[in-house]
Amino acid sequence: MTSSPNAGQRLKAANAAFPKLFSAAASAPVTVSTATATDISDASITITTANAGAQVLVIGVFDIQVVTTSGVAVALGSCAVNGSAQLGNATHDLTTVGNRGTVTQAWVITSGAAGSYTIKLQAQLSGASGSATFNGTHTTITATVYDW
């Protein structure tokens, strides 16, 4: 990456830093009935940062349908970076069988060192009661990388 211009210099588009956009869609449904995080097939992207401290805005969209009701647990759409769970979840209640919704969650991630990062969407419940299917139809991950 070329450094920023000094005062009085012209900025050329070829030298400007631009955000990079990545996206992927789930390829198959996954049904969960426990609090164990399960990867959602193909709802995963790999990015490579050139600089330490790069910022990544991740948006997860989860197509969730209730299979078995629960009065205590909710379905959770989560995000993991290199296997490490991120704070915050998309949530969907499990009160009505067949109830289906598309819920979203955003995460801002700061990279450590420059390098490769795998970002995945995962499905789970908040407890071991009920079950939900995370459909592949509308489940997507989008990441915008600000690496400068």
β-bridge pairing 74-81 and 84-85: antiparallel
Q: How many C-beta atoms surround the C-beta of residue 64 within 10 A? A: 26
Residue 6 has pLDDT above 80, yes or no: no
Give the CA radius of gyration of the chain: 18
Residue 9 has pLDDT above 50, yes or no: yes
Mean of the pLDDT values across residues 54-73? 96
Mean of the pLDDT values across residues 132-146? 97
CA distances from residue 107 to 5, 116, 121 in whole angstroms, order as listed:
31, 18, 11
Residue 127 has pLDDT above 60, yes or no: yes
CATH architecture designation of domain 18-146 = Sandwich (2.60)
Domain boundaries, the chain: 18-146
Q: What span, in angstroms and rounded, lies between the C-alpha atoms of 121 and 144?
A: 15
Average pLDDT, the chain: 93
Q: What span, in angstroms and rounded, lies between the C-alpha atoms of 131 and 67?
A: 5
Q: Supply the pTM of this predicted model.
A: 0.88
The number of CA neighbours under 13 Å toward the Cβ of 109 is: 29
